[in-house]
Structures are given as C-alpha cells and as structure tokens.
C-alpha cells in the first residue's frame, strides 16, 4: 500500500535540510536579496525535474529487464535513508564557500549544478525507486511525484533565500531539536519501507 506520509516526509526532510543547493540559496539571499536570488531557486527546482525523469527511466529499465535487482533496491534504499538520518542527527551547519568563478544567481547555473549534486542524485533515485515504483507506475503517479517535488523544492529553496543568514542562525540555535525531528522522520520512512517489503 502506498504510504503518502512516508513519501512526503522523505521529500520534505531531503529538500529542507542543509545541502549544496540550500547553502547556495542562503548565501545568495544574504548577499543579493530575495528578488535577485529567486531565479537560482527556480533553476534548482527546474533542474531536479530531469533528475527525476532519469530516475523514472532507469527504474523502468531495471523493473523490466533486471527484476531480480528490485528485491535488493528496497533494503538498500532504506539503509541509505537510515544513513541520511544518522548524518542529519549529527549534522553541524556548514558555511557556504564564498569564492566562486560563476554567476551563482543564474538560472542555468542552478540547473547544471543539479547534475553534479550527489545529494540530489541519490534523493531522486531513492524517491522514485522506493516510494513510487513498487506501488504505482501510472502516468498520474509520476505527474504527482514530479509536481510535489517541484513545489517542495521551490518552497525549501525559497525559505533558505528568504531568511538568508537569519535561517542559518535559526538552524544553529535549534540545531539539535530540528535535526532530531528530521532524523526521526527519515527513520520512520526507512522502517516503513522494510515493513512494506515484508508485507508483500
């Protein structure tokens, strides 16, 4: 049975927690303000769409031609999510690098960066592999996943831009509480994957 809570929890935690995109958004928001930095947010969000489309295409190939791998993918995905929960539990906010030779507010820069962002690539693959494909492979579900991800990415990145350095201070002040909540949500997602796999 499709677990909407686990699906949205994983999506929310992965999008809102500090990563390369969020740190760039925060740095841009602090330096250039919301209006000038918003196009970078749109670039990040747009860049994630082809990542998810590639994940869908990859999963179609695996499910069609290498079905034996499917049984291995769910436990591996769950272990990755548990590892991510552990990393977030122990996470300390890092400062974004200030020295760069590219336009960090450009729409096209944000799109290109998505294809070299390991957190984003793993996120996209895990989302489709473990939360969508085992339960619903319809066009409607793919469109829901793409739309939900677009909205979640845009919301999360906009928050980092909008609050800029204030958001960084907020994370530093309440780091332990926020990390604990997000780590527990991820742990719930991982456990739900294991339970769903046992139930099938």
Residue 27 has pLDDT above 60, yes or no: yes
Phi-psi region of 109 (alpha: psi -120 to 50; beta: other; left: phi over 0): alpha
Position 146 scores a pLDDT of: 94
Q: What is the pLDDT of residues 130-160, one digit of tens each?
A: 888 888 889 999 999 999 999 999 999 998 8
Q: What is the distance between the alpha carbons of residues 161 and 24, in angstroms, rounded to a whole number?
A: 9
Retrieve residue 186's tokens: 């991820």
Retrieve residue 111's tokens: 């799109």
- The sign of the torsion formed by the CA atoms of 97, 98, 100, 102 equals positive
Confirm if 170 and 93 have CB atoms less than 8 A apart.
no
Q: What is the pLDDT of residues 41-71, one digit of tens each?
A: 999 999 999 999 998 998 888 777 766 776 7
Retrieve residue 105's tokens: 């507010």
pLDDT average, residue stretch 79-86: 79
DSSP designation for 2:
-
């Amino acid at each position: 049975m499709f677990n909407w809570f686990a699906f949205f929890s994983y999506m929310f935690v992965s999008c809102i927690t500090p990563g390369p995109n969020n740190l760039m958004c925060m740095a841009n928001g602090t330096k250039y303000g919301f209006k000038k930095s918003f196009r970078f947010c749109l670039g990040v969000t747009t860049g994630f769409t082809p990542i998810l489309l590639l994940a869908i295409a990859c999963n179609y190939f695996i499910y069609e031609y290498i079905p034996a791998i499917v049984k291995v993918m769910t436990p591996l995905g769950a272990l990755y999510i548990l590892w991510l929960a552990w990393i977030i539990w122990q996470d300390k906010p890092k400062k974004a690098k200030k020295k760069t030779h590219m336009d960090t507010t450009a729409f096209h820069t944000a799109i290109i960066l998505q294809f070299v962002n390991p957190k984003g690539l793993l996120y996209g693959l895990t989302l489709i592999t473990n939360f969508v494909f085992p339960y619903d492979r319809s066009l409607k579900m793919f469109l829901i996943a793409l739309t939900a991800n677009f909205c979640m990415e845009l919301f999360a990145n906009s928050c980092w831009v909008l609050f800029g350095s204030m958001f960084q201070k907020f994370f530093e002040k309440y780091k332990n509480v926020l990390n604990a909540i997000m780590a527990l949500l991820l742990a719930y997602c991982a456990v739900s994957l294991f339970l769903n796999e046992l139930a099938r």
